[in-house]
A and B are shown apart, each in its own frame.
Chain A
């Protein structure tokens, strides 16, 4: 019933699962933001996430060690990032299209490995909820914010860290310079190639974690194409958040709260067709893009290959 939606328990439930659902978006989108800040559009996030999700799940399943699974996912993501960096920096390939190539590769490869190494859908016991002593006892607030799995806390820590690195460190300055005016950065002795390698590999690593957060923390299964567009949404969130970590956090929360609301509406069998409800986050994202995008400016060198000495 629709009135069920307005009870405190349901409300707390929606908020708590909204916070939880935002983790993969946060990891992937903040990684993507580093790349875009340095002028590289990585559309392969979805593929990196899928491979990361599989790697984490498979290692966790076979060794029973979740941390080893997470580490493998990071490694796989970093390797995908390395390949992407070589293709876009050294070979100066069109970024949007090569990203689609990496997406298809990750999609096919994770499916292939899944079918060959596992064959059937299995489950693992993912990262457990950690109740932060004291804080998790606060009514409502505790359940929403302080009773989540470890990756959720990492994701939220990542937001201020990313902000700090991008805005308050020399490295961040270099990243922004390379993304705004690579020629000037180059003439000041900043290696455009090295900075972009760093950001793309970092982005890949974070995408790997994003995948792992799905397969060994949120859902605790691996299935073919289990990300189903999540990586592309993460790219959209970077635009949505105007390339700022705090904006990305806002976008990720909005998206996951609507998603969580939609899931709860199904649980409570509120008579809205579930397909229409699932559609809502996408519609809202488009509408918010329309409302916000024209007010902010993308990094000037975004998606442009850099060539020295022109």
Chain B
């Protein structure tokens, strides 16, 4: 009973962190001479106020969830993947290429092949930093950031050159975009809104990632390497291999997110020259969602919906009270800072519980006591 209460309080910490961020946001709104209640009401209305709004929120949440699932895998393996943006782009590029070229096949088969291509593209783009980390000791935070920059330029090059929409190639405007996917190659919609099959795929994959991480040997090993690489090595686990796999899988999910963005929402790739022009920063916001969900695939579902709602609602807020939606980017940043900062409360509570448990029954807990983060880090 008490342990359930304790875990409930722990689970509430991210919610409190979000409320704190929204409070800071309210102060900022006041400084901008905007009534925060009106602004937040507009935000809520924009995110949940109608069937369409709700559908948009879910559409926005889908790539966050997919990227977040990858983040759950890599962060559990103690590999920090900041490369979601680039992995989404490469996944989308490969998927789009398949969708535009394999036009002789039945629609469902081309879609399936495209989704696989997206998965593969992301896996390659995540796998490279994985290999660099595992075998050349190159810090993955840096290499994934570099890979983002490379992916953006690669996308710009393809969309201005080899993959440009034939119509645009002849037009004077030369808009850097690919041709549109034929209708039979698009992901079907689920309702008379923009909500598409991709959202459902993402939720199913969340369950699969949960099974992968906690019910398979592969998942167990990835987590073991993340918690204690030295012990894992002594236990006979090939640590470098699982580092690569963690990043590769993480990238694959981001790649799929990119593919689904093309096949479910835009039906083509288009660039404004920056990464966020295509990804909508989902590669970064997916990290935020996964952290918020405590790196748990199932909890990442509501977390993604929350951040999807914030992003969609921000547009409405911008229209109603003329506050740039950039405010929400700033608040997302604060949520991250507050969530990781609130970890200390969880750790302290846990330590106190352990101390109490130790005092209560005199058997020492040394054998299999949960490793707190501070200890795992030292």
Contact = CB atoms under 8 A, between A and B. Distances in A.
Contacts of B157: 273, 275-276, 279
A229 B337 contact: no
B337 A289 contact: no
Contacts, number: 153
A106 to B, nearest CB: 7
Contacts of A285: 146
Interface stretch (A149-157, A192-200, A202-210, A231-239): A231-239
B143 interface: yes
A92 interface: yes
Contact of A108 (B137, B149, B274, B331): B331
Given A108-B326, A289-B143, A92 B374 contact: yes
Contact of A104 (B288, B343, B378): B288
A1 interface: no
Interface in B72-103: 80, 82
B344 A236 contact: no
Interface in A208-241: 224-225, 228-229, 232-233, 235-236, 239
Nearest to A47: B333
Contacts of A305: 374, 377
Interface stretch (A6-14, A71-79, A95-103): A95-103
Contact of B153 (A83, A104, A235, A279): A279
A278 interface: yes
Contacts of B153: 275-276, 278-279, 282
Given A100-B336, A105-B333, A112-B327, A282 B146 contact: yes
Contacts of A106: 333
A102 B337 contact: yes
A283 interface: yes
B139 A239 contact: yes
A91 B324 contact: no
A105 to B, nearest CB: 3
A116 B150 CA distance: 32
A149 B119 CA distance: 48
Contact of B374 (A232, A239, A310): A310
A101 B324 CA distance: 19
A229 B161 CA distance: 24
Contacts of A228: 274
B291 interface: yes
Interface residues of A, number: 51
Interface in A273-310: 273, 275-276, 278-279, 282-283, 285-286, 289-290, 293-294, 304-305, 307, 310
Nearest to B144: A232
Contacts of B156: 275
A80 to B, nearest CB: 11
A236 B132 CA distance: 14
Contacts of A289: 132, 136, 138-139, 142-143
A100 B343 contact: no
Nearest to A110: B326
Nearest to A115: B324
Given A106-B333, A279-B154, A97 B340 contact: yes
Nearest to A240: B142
A23 B132 CA distance: 29
B154 A275 contact: yes
Contacts of A273: 157, 160-161
B324 A112 contact: yes
A279 B149 contact: yes
B34 to A, nearest CB: 10
A85 interface: no
Given A96-B80, A104-B288, A279-B150, A239 B336 contact: no
B303 to A, nearest CB: 14
Nearest to B344: A91
A263 to B, nearest CB: 14
B335 interface: yes
A107 interface: yes
Contacts of B331: 108
A93 interface: yes
A100 B75 CA distance: 14
Residue of B153, B284, B323 with most chain A CB atoms under a 10 A cut-off:
B153
A276 B142 CA distance: 20
Contact of B332 (A94, A104, A115, A275): A104
Given A92-B374, A112-B330, A282-B146, A98 B154 contact: no
A108 B333 CA distance: 8
Interface in B147-204: 147-150, 153-154, 156-157, 160-161
27 contacts: A43-B141, A47-B333, A94-B373, A96-B80, A97-B336, A98-B337, A103-B333, A104-B329, A104-B330, A104-B333, A105-B334, A107-B330, A108-B331, A112-B330, A116-B32, A116-B324, A225-B274, A228-B274, A229-B149, A236-B142, A276-B153, A285-B146, A286-B147, A290-B132, A290-B138, A294-B137, A304-B377
Interface of A: 43, 47, 83, 87, 91-94, 96-98, 100-109, 111-112, 115-116, 224-225, 228-229, 232-233, 235-236, 239, 273, 275-276, 278-279, 282-283, 285-286, 289-290, 293-294, 304-305, 307, 310
Interface of B: 32, 80, 82, 132, 136-139, 141-143, 145-150, 153-154, 156-157, 160-161, 274, 276, 284, 287-288, 291, 323-324, 326-337, 340-341, 343-344, 373-374, 377-378
Given A93-B344, A101-B336, 14 more contacts: A91-B341, A91-B343, A92-B344, A93-B340, A97-B340, A101-B337, A103-B333, A108-B327, A108-B331, A109-B330, A115-B324, A116-B324, A228-B274, A276-B153
